[in-house]
Amino acid sequence: MTKTLCTNFKLPYQDEYARTYLNAKGKNYGYEDLLEIAKGQLNIESNISSKVKNFAIFDTDLLTIKIWSLYKFGKLDSRIETILSSYLNRTYILCYPDLPWTPDPLRENPSNRKSIFDMYQKLLISYKFKFHVIKGNDLLVRKQEVVDIISNDILK
């Protein structure tokens, strides 16, 4: 959906760094790799943000890496927390896990999607980040809902 939204709003798009990193490294990664993934993701965010005026759309950010780190390894590098705590003016679109699981060589946790969703929601609230939850089985309806959120909330 991120790529489609970037096209819709004429914004630059780049895959999340974790996908690039893990495609090169493989699924045998460790806790220390998450900091490297975080650095790569920050570079992407910086690069894209320097090319836009009003807003940018990212498939992921350090919030995902925090949840990933805590969920998989039970710990978090303090540098990730420091950067995450400095985020300002971000609005998140949190997708409810009511779509069928789509297998992907890099995806994990097909049976724990609701608990991971709950972790996201809890962290978004604790950081006081603005967010919207989108639900439903129709991808076109979800996309239109996000377009409306961007048009009526972020671009206003």
Domain ranges of the chain: 2-154
Which has more confidence, 103 or 67? 67
Q: What confidence category does residue 38 fall into, taking pLDDT thresholds of 50, 70 and 90?
A: very high
Give the closest residue to 13 by CA, choosing from 69, 60, 82.
Answer: 60
Helix axes 113-126, 62-73, angle to 10 degrees: 130
20-to-15, 26, 121, 138, 154 alpha-carbon distances in Å: 7, 10, 26, 28, 29
pTM for this entry: 0.89
User: Which fold, 2-154?
Assistant: Rossmann fold (3.40.50)
